[in-house]
Structures are given as structure tokens and as C-alpha cells.
Structure 1
Amino acid sequence: MSSKQTPLRPNRKVNETAKDVFFFIPNLIGYSRVVLAGASLYYMPFHPKYCTWLYVVSCLLDAFDGMAARRFNQCTKFGAVLDMVTDRCTTSALLCFLSSEYPRFTILFQSLISLDLASHYMHMYSTLTTGGESHKKIPKEGNWVLRQYYGNNYVLFAFCACNELFFVALYLLSFPPRSPPRLGYLMGMPLSYPYVLAALTFPICAAKQIINCVQMANAARALVDVDLQDRKAAGVHANDKMMKDS
């Protein structure tokens, strides 16, 4: 959630090895996220409490690895990719489970997985292709929505957290409810904490999907602009060669 591609400060240790980078503090936090996410997937089918806590802690650590990267001057491209891949994999795994618990909505969960993967991959690829430092650094002339989304860490954290919490709430609702419900009834419908959590986080989760669409469309346009520039340059070179040959 938080950017790891901030400018590097001078470091006393100049002879760093690949092993040093792999064991940077933010990357160690990233590995712990993977372990926690894997454990949550193990408990997912039969122990909602363990699964939820492990999953939530794994997601929360996403904020701390970026802070550690900036604090210890250990911002790396590997860390940024590890962060994004972990996010995409954990969310996709949870949505796969939800598709099995809510089979009528399988196509919806499949679409959400596809949108999430496609939008982030295209955004990352377009950033690298256009020479950007980080997929979270949107230039001033860039898309306004993406600048607001990536430009404020609190906004980014809120959207990502609510997105995950909505899916976690759906996961908890897939298990048999307590009887009687802890929060009583509303218009004859039993209320529980997962119901309330789902209701509160759904609007932001829906907005997150819209942002994913904007991100994918913006990345597609950026890539097409690069294609046009490349084709124009190739055309100029081809014309020059034809003139020389003639």
C-alpha cells in the first residue's frame, strides 16, 4: 500500500550484495506477510477466527514494510514487486474461496480477480515502459483520480483496507451465524459484526473497483502513446533509409 520507491539516500555500505538486499528489513516483513497469508489460507476452510486474524495481520504489515523501507533507506524494486505480488495473490486466493462459498456469484468473483490482476499489471508495465520511478508516483499531468488515490498514503490505505475488509466480511458470513445474533435484528434480519462490516466497507470496495478500471484504461492509453511514438520514430528511420537508398 505504501510506496517503496522513494529516492535513495547515500549509504555508508557501498559493497552490498544480493543477499543483503534479500534480507533488507522491509523485505523480511514482506516474507512474513507471505507466511501469514499462507497460514490464513490453510485455516480458511474450517477456522474463520484464525484465518481472519492471520489474513488481517498480513494485510496490516503492508503498511509497515513501506515505512521500514523509507526509515532504513532500503527502498528496492524487488521490495515493491514483492509487495504487489503478495497483495494480488492473497486477494485472489480469498476471492477464489468466496466463489466456492457463493457459487451463484462465481462469475463476479472471477471478474474481480481478472480486473485486479489486469489493472495492476498494466499499470506497472506502463510505468516501467514510460520510464517512471514507481507505479505509485503519478505525474502532475497524469490522471486526476489516480493522483488522488496514490498521492495520499492515508487515502490509499483506507481504500485498500476497506476493499480487503469487505471480502473478509463476506468470508465470515459464509459460516453459520450465531443464534441469537449478537447485534439483534433489523427489520427481521439478524445482525452481526460481519454484516455491519460488509455494509460499511461495500461503498469503498465498489469505488476501488472503479479505480481499477480507471487505472487499466489509463495504462492502456499510456502504452498506446508509447506505441505511436515508436511507430513514428520507426517511420522516420525507414524514410531516411529509403532516401539514402535512392
Structure 2
Amino acid sequence: MTLLSIAHLSKSFDGVKAVDDVSFDLEAGQLLALIGPNGAGKSTCFNMINGQLKPTSGAIHFDGHDIAGLRPREIWRRGVGRTFQIAATFNSMTVLENVQMALLSHERRLFSPFGRVASWREQDALDLLDLVGMAGHARRSCAVLAYGDVKRVELAIALAHGPKLLLMDEPTAGMAPQERNALMALTARLAKEHMIGVLFTEHSMDVVFAHADRLIVLARGHLIAQGDAATIRNDARVREVYLGTGASFTPRGESA
């Protein structure tokens, strides 16, 4: 099922086209990597989908509705979650409280004057932490966690409102290789189990080729290639503008 459909998407800044006539689809349960060299238009494209930028032209259809130009919070409420390159958690709170805050936000109860919230939806928050392997750290402060664990907590927060689409901006930035692959393997498993579409940007090509179901490649605002890992690795234009020879990268299912 097509969950996200991008059609002829463009964005100009003072007459300069940062994204120029980009089109692609994302299926439910699929991991789609958006890659390209610096200045390719990845962040601009990503931020239009998330609502931080309004497209100059084109359509963004999510779950059957055009969301182009909606505010980020409106898009979030329609079922789009997001994680960021630099993990955003409340260090003064416990792991459990961070996820409870996300649940409270979804319920629009952040400013409710009625009752204590310390135990509100505690089991739901624990269940989310269990999904990402962090239930055993629920009572610890986020301030003392290793960075890889903070990224897992951020993923639980992003899942708190049951998103259909998850946008992940450089999800493994700052992580060690083993942590990177563990996080993306977890994300892939959750995406397929819960039929969540995942669009992610990533500079680590080992992560991209190991975990993405499909890839789209941008260069100077243009979409120059899309397909599975083998197709992208063997694309001469992609190798020229981004991957070098590509010889060191092995698509999923192939032996090195």
C-alpha cells in the first residue's frame, strides 16, 4: 500500500531551486533512504514533508491526503513521527517520564490542572520502552544514558502517537558502528511488524546498504536514481556524483 506519494515537488529560495521536480513513493512497512552529497536538497525535501518548509510547487500525499503546506504539528497529528540528527530528550527527567510526556502531548493533556501525571499511562510508556529495548532503564535519568540508548528513547518517543510514517533525520549520527546497525535493525523490525513507512536521511553508507529496502538519490536538487541497493550501487551516475566506485558496499542479501 502506498503510504506517501511525492509528486513533482519543488522548492526555490530567491530563484534558486533547492529541490526541482522530485517524485517518489513510500510503501507501508518499507524503509526508504534519501541520500546524496552535501547540498543535494535532502534536508529541504525532508523539511517540506515534515511541514517546516512550504513547497513552491508539487504535492505531498500522505495516507490519501495532500499535506503540503500544513504546519508540523498538524502533520504530526495526522500520524507522522520524527526523530532528529541530534537526539532531543529531557535530561532532567527519567526515561519513563520522557515517554509519558510524549503520550500526554498526544492526548493534549500537557496543561491539564487535574491530578498527578507521574503514573499516567505508565504501562503504555513501559510497553513502548520495551519495544525499543529500554524498559530496564525506565527509572534512570536520560542525562546518564549512553548516546545509543538516548537514540532508542527518542525512537520510543516518536512512536508514542502510533505513527504511520516515521521521518528519521540522520538517525545514526554520532553512534559507533555496532550501535548504528543495531538501531536500524530495530527500526526495520518495528516498521515491518507495525506497517510503518520509514523515510530516513543518512550519511553512513554501510547503514543505508544494509537496511534500506529502497534508495532515492538526489544531486543538486534533482532525483537522479531510485531503486534497491544493487541498482543504486551499480548506477554509473550515482557512483560519479556520490559513491565513488561503490566497490566497498554490499547490498542486502549479497556476500562481500
Please indicate the TM-score interval, normalised by the length of the shorter structure: under 0.3
Larger gyration radius, structure 1 or structure 2: 1
Q: What TM-score comes out, normalization by structure 2 length?
A: 0.21
Greater fraction helix: 1
